[in-house]
C-alpha cells in the first residue's frame, strides 16, 4: 500500500470510529456493563479495531464489524471479572446484546439521514458553515481554522461540540419517531 493510501485508510478508520463511538459505547452498555467498564472496554475495542483495520472488509458495515469485536471484548472483560458474583451470565448478556441490535436495526439509515438533515437545519448558520468548511471541502482542519480565524485546536473543539449537539438532536428525533 502506498503512503497516501495508508494515510487515507487511517483517516477513514478515525472518521468511522469517531462517527460510531457512541453506538459502540451504547452497545457495550446494553450488554450490562457499568459506564466505567464501558470506558475500559471501548478503549480496548478501539485498539483491537485499529490493529485489525487492515483485515476490515470495506463491503462490510462498520458497525456490524464493531459490534462483533465489542461483543468479544465484553466477553473477555467479563471473564477477567468472573469472580464478581454480580456479573451477568453469558445467556443473559447475549439476550441483552440481541435486543440492542434489534433496536438499532429498527432505525433505518434513511430515518437517520432525515433526522441529520433536520438537525443540521436547526443549527445556527455559523455552526453549519463550520461543518460545511470542515467536511465538504478538500482543505485540512488547519487550513479551515486559518480561514475562520481560529486555532486548529479551537476548531476541533467547536466541531466536537457541534457533533455532540447533532448527535443529541438525532437521538431525540429518532426516539420520538
Judgement on whether residues 102 and 119 belong to the same structural domain of the protein: no
CATH of the domain at 164: 1.10.10
Q: pLDDT above 90 covers what percent of the chain?
A: 43
If we measure between CA atoms, which residue out of 174, 139, 141 comes closest to residue 155?
Answer: 141
Question: Rounded CA gap, 159 and 45, in Å?
Answer: 24
DSSP state of 31: T
Mean pLDDT, the chain, integer: 84
Residue 40 CB coordination number (10 Å): 15
- Domain enclosing residue 158, as ranges: 108-177
The pLDDT of residue 105: 61
The pLDDT of residue 100: 67
Judgement on whether residues 121 and 54 belong to the same structural domain of the protein: no
- More reliable by pLDDT, 151 or 103: 151
Q: Which of 106, 141, 159 is the last residue of a domain?
A: 106
Is residue 1 over pLDDT 60? no
Q: How far apart are the first and last CA of the chain?
A: 44
Structural domains of the chain, count: 2
The pLDDT of residue 18: 93
Question: Rounded CA gap, 61 and 81, in Å?
Answer: 30
The pLDDT of residue 31: 86
Amino acid at each position: 500500500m502506498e503512503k497516501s493510501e495508508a494515510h487515507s485508510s487511517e483517516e477513514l478508520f478515525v472518521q468511522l470510529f469517531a462517527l460510531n463511538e457512541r453506538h459502540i459505547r451504547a452497545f457495550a452498555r446494553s450488554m450490562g456493563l457499568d459506564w466505567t467498564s464501558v470506558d475500559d472496554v471501548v478503549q480496548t475495542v478501539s485498539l483491537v479495531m485499529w490493529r485489525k483495520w487492515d483485515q476490515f472488509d470495506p463491503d462490510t458495515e462498520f458497525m456490524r464489524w464493531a459490534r462483533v469485536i465489542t461483543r468479544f471484548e465484553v466477553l473477555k472483560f467479563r471473564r477477567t471479572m468472573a469472580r464478581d458474583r454480580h456479573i451477568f451470565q453469558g445467556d443473559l448478556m447475549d439476550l441483552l446484546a440481541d435486543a440492542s441490535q434489534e433496536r438499532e436495526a429498527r432505525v433505518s439509515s434513511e430515518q437517520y439521514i432525515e433526522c441529520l438533515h433536520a438537525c443540521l437545519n436547526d443549527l445556527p448558520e455559523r455552526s453549519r458553515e463550520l461543518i460545511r468548511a470542515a467536511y465538504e471541502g478538500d482543505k485540512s482542519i488547519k487550513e479551515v481554522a486559518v480561514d475562520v480565524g481560529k486555532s486548529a485546536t479551537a476548531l476541533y473543539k467547536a466541531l466536537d461540540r457541534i457533533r455532540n449537539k447533532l448527535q443529541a438532536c438525532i437521538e431525540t428525533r429518532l426516539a420520538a419517531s
